């Protein structure tokens, strides 16, 4: 199925019933080592770990690397979808993401330092037959519609529950 058909079919399904636009995604992580976590997301599994400097064995990317990878891959996918919708062609597209993190926040060494990224840079390289103006139009559409970019740029309510031995 082409993206054009997928987009049209999805639009029709959502127009017919707005409930069709709602989706729930989930991930389950289990700590299996000092910092190693086995993660399951539906039928997919992967490992998360920290480098030795943060107590891990470096058997996999760490959580913030996966966050950057999620942002970069979501940007690339959103470029593909919006290029299709806007009729913009490209030959190749790559996305590099980079973030600044001060570990004092994570370790609690300085409570005035946030534990997450203080800045993130997204560098998109696109080649193809379109003008720079058309690629700028595409970039604006992507920035307005990329779900993971939205996670990074807008607050999202998070609810945490904890279940222990004595939890009722």
pLDDT tens digit sequence for 47-104 = 999 999 999 999 999 999 999 999 999 999 999 999 999 999 999 999 999 999 999 9
Domain presence at residue 4 = no
pLDDT of 168 strictly over 60: no
| CA–CA separation, 125 and 98 (whole Å) | 14
Count: domains in the chain: 2
For residue 132, the enclosing domain spans 62-155
Average pLDDT over residues 6-31: 94
Domain presence at residue 114 = yes
Percent of the chain with pLDDT over 90: 93
pLDDT of 114 strictly over 60: yes
Quick one: 82 and 146 in the same domain?
yes
* Structure confidence at residue 167 (pLDDT): 62
Q: Report yes or no: 55 and 34 within 8 Å, Cβ to Cβ.
A: yes
Domain presence at residue 6 = no
pLDDT of 141 strictly over 80: yes
Q: What is the CATH number of the domain that holds 144?
A: 3.30.300.20
Both tokens of 165, joined, read 């031995």
109-143: string of b/e by CB count within 10 Å (b at 16+)?
eeeebeeebeebebebebeeebeeebbeebbebbe
Residues whose CB falls within 8 Å of the CB of residue 158, separated by 6 or more in sequence, listed in order: none
pLDDT of 44 strictly over 60: yes
Rounded (10°) angle between helices 132-145 and 63-86: 120
| CA–CA separation, 96 and 94 (whole Å) | 7
Quick one: which of 44, 66, 62, 65 has its CA closest to 54? 62
């Amino acid at each position: 199925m082409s993206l054009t058909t997928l987009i049209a079919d999805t639009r029709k399904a959502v127009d017919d019933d707005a409930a069709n636009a709602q989706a729930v995604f989930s991930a389950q992580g289990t700590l299996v080592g000092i910092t190693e976590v086995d993660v399951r997301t539906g039928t997919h599994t992967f490992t998360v770990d920290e480098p030795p400097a943060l107590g891990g064995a470096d058997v996999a990317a760490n959580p913030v690397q996966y966050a950057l990878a999620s942002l970069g891959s979501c940007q690339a996918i959103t470029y593909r979808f919006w290029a299709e919708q806007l009729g913009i062609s490209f030959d190749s597209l790559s996305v590099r993401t980079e973030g600044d993190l001060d570990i004092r926040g994570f370790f609690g060494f300085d409570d005035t330092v946030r534990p997450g990224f203080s800045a993130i840079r997204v560098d998109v390289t696109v080649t193809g037959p379109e003008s720079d103006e058309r690629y700028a139009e595409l970039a604006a559409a992507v920035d307005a519609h990329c779900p993971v970019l939205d996670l990074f740029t807008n607050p999202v309510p998070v609810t945490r529950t904890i279940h222990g031995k004595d939890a009722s």
